[in-house]
Structure 1
Amino acid sequence: MGAVVNCAAYADGRRVANVELNAINQILQQPDKFIWIGLHEPGEEILERVQDEFNLHDLAIEDAHTAHQRPKIETYGESLFIVLRTAQMNSEEHCIDFGETHFFLGHNFIISVRHRSTLSYAEVRARCESTPHLLRKGPGFALYAVMDSIVDQYFPVIDALERELEILEENIFKKKTSRETTAQIYWLKRELLSVKRAVSPLIDVCNRLTRFDLELISEDTRPYFRDIYDHVLRINEMVDTGRELLNNVLDANFSMISISQNEVSKKFAGWAAIIGVPTMIAGIYGMNFKFMPELDWQFGYPLALALTLGSCMILYLFFKRSGWL
């Protein structure tokens, strides 16, 4: 079955056998073993078989099948249902690819269900199998290992968004502002908001996993979830800082646009004043009064022309020195 990525039995922290779905019940009856199953985009048939084998709740199975869930943790009888959102930076399409991973956790089993995520957990499983002294803690440690891998994937995403923010700041203060700059700012705000929605609920999830009312998480495993909790808090703070910086960048962008518009307005006003001088002089001589002594004077034309050019030059130098031109 293509949806079943891995299904194995573990005893004393070591893999003892690969197991078929129809043989799971035999392993579950052995108290010294636990099952670790990895599913990728499973169909209804496989989820129903898993539900029957592990006695999972209908609502949890429905959520695992439809996906599109916000991060959460729910208790159904003797099992936990946990939802996490995965994030990867897509450099080709210049966006963040979000997926989901759902977990079913019991005393002797852990099931992970991946949706819309290309990141395999084979490496995480291999790391756990290489440290049997930790994996013997049971399904709780396997849950920690996968959750820690998912949370750590957010750091490269945040780093990529911070680099985009640095480029934006340089463009705003070193280059002319444009519509593309404003659009990029709003794109970054939208991406950070998406990360915020994925990370913020994890604070409550990790907090609950460290509490003593969840018997499925052994006492010696809870400190590991506190480590994830610290990472989630750090990521959440980084997102909040990035969003605050983006608001400042947006204000700076609008300020630079306003300054640029004012510069253009000053140039228009300066040239309008310069052009107004010859217009005024030409208007005076165009009134066609009968008695205008300078019309009969032989130096009248050169004087009017010199006055026009001189006045325009004086105004030009004045506006140039004032920074209007």
Structure 2
Amino acid sequence: MIRIYRSGCAACEGVEMVGTDWTLPPDTLWIDLIEPTREEDTAIEQALGLSIPTREEMSELEASSRLYRENGATYVTADIIHNSEMELPTVDPVTFILTHGPLVTIRYFDPRPFTMFTDKLEREPYLCESGADMFLNLMEAIIDRASEVLSRTAHKVEGVSTHIFSGADTTVGYRHLITKLGRAQIANSRIEQSLAGLSRVFAFVALDERLEMNADKREHLKSLGRDASSLLAHSQAVAAGITFQLSATLGLINIQQSSIFKVLSLVTMALMPPTLIGAIYGMNFEHMPELTWWWGYPLALGLMALSSAIPLMWFKRKGWF
């Protein structure tokens, strides 16, 4: 699918069909390729005289495949967070091509920052005057969204920390807490991956003449770079907090288990002498009235069941299982 945004328009226009006679409107500021077909790739390549990377090329991890210049255009690929409303957000690559004309983006999913940015364009149709403006404002939306996701993850981690160190008996919930910490760590690592990639993108794009030669755009880009660096530092602090809380949780589990084993050891030691005496002398007496009781056997079975049930009920009340 091809969507184009033209100067002064209130919304992106969808291109229904491209053919050999299709031409790009001269006032186009942004070309958004969403899961493009080969025909759509070819049409844009012919219109701009540039090559469009494939999905496989976008997924490559080496820097030379993600940050490069070709035919006067700057190609950058960054991992963008999406599905952030779920417990485990995901990251997928998006390629941005800065040309002397419009900005070109290639993506195979629908991240929230793109929707936020198009909504903003509807409210402010004259927000951007060039493809470079489009790039900077779109990156600002991506950074804002990453900040929101990171803040939500940090809040979850803080909630777990409060629960762990509240002083209440949290033995029963330890498995749940460890699961939440593990999910928070995965989410945070993906946020960190995205922010690290964005920092590299900003450093590389800073050398592009379309941004380097314009003081306002250059300052805007530096501001985005500082935001990405500060969020990256915050993400690393969250990761350190998760590691500490996970270690603390495991330590508290060990303390609880040690306390349980201490109680069981004391109970066992207390019952060993009477058990030993009963085992040696319990059946070695001539006069045992219980042998003639008609309800003696059921009574013994009931006492066995009761003696097993009482410790189990006590263990459950203590939260040991």
TM-score (norm 1): 0.72
- Does structure 2 retain, via aligned residues, the 8 Å contact 1:73–1:205? yes
Structure 2 equivalent of residue 168 of structure 1 = 160
Deviation at 1:102, TM superposition (A): 1.8
SS of equivalent residue, structure 1 residue 112: strand
The residue type paired with residue 244 of structure 1 is A
- Overall identity of the aligned pairs, in %: 15
Q: How many residues align?
A: 266
Deviation at 1:245, TM superposition (A): 0.4
After TM superposition, list the pairs within 5 Å mapping 1:89-108 onto structure 2: 89-91=83-85, 93-108=86-101
Structure 2 equivalent of residue 48 of structure 1 = 42
SS of equivalent residue, structure 1 residue 107: coil
Structure 2 equivalent of residue 241 of structure 1 = 237
C-alpha RMSD over aligned residues: 3.0
1:126/1:182 Cα in 2 relative to 1: closer, same or farther (>3 Å)?
Answer: same
Counterparts of 2:224 and 2:119, CA distance in 1? 18
Moved more, 187-196 or 224-233: 187-196
Q: Deviations over 1:85-129 (max 9, x none)?
A: 2224543x4221434432221112211223212532412433553
Higher gyration radius (CA): 1
After TM superposition, list the pairs within 5 Å mapping 1:52-131 onto structure 2: 52-57=46-51, 61-63=52-54, 67-69=58-60, 72-91=66-85, 93-119=86-112, 120=115, 121-126=117-122, 129-131=125-127
1:118/1:190 Cα in 2 relative to 1: closer, same or farther (>3 Å)?
Answer: closer
After TM superposition, list the pairs within 5 Å mapping 1:267-286 onto structure 2: 267-282=263-278
Q: Deviations over 1:30-53 (max 9, x none)?
A: xxx554222222111101110111
Structure 2 equivalent of residue 311 of structure 1 = none
Moved more, 249-258 or 177-186: 177-186
Counterparts of 2:92 and 2:280, CA distance in 1? 77
After TM superposition, list the pairs within 5 Å mapping 1:156-195 onto structure 2: 156-173=148-165, 174=168, 175-176=170-171, 177-195=173-191
The residue type paired with residue 74 of structure 2 is L
- Does structure 2 retain, via aligned residues, the 8 Å contact 1:99–1:117? no
SS of equivalent residue, structure 2 residue 31: strand
Structure 1: 5+ residue stretches without partners: 28-32, 289-325
After TM superposition, list the pairs within 5 Å mapping 1:122-161 onto structure 2: 122-126=118-122, 129-131=125-127, 135-136=128-129, 138-161=130-153
1:100/1:76 Cα in 2 relative to 1: closer, same or farther (>3 Å)?
Answer: same
1:282/1:106 Cα in 2 relative to 1: closer, same or farther (>3 Å)?
Answer: same
SS of equivalent residue, structure 2 residue 76: strand
Q: Deviations over 1:180-216 (max 9, x none)?
A: 33233222222212222221122121122234xx213
Higher share in strand: 1
Structure 1 equivalent of residue 32 of structure 2 = 38
Displacement over 6 Å in runs of 4+: 16-21
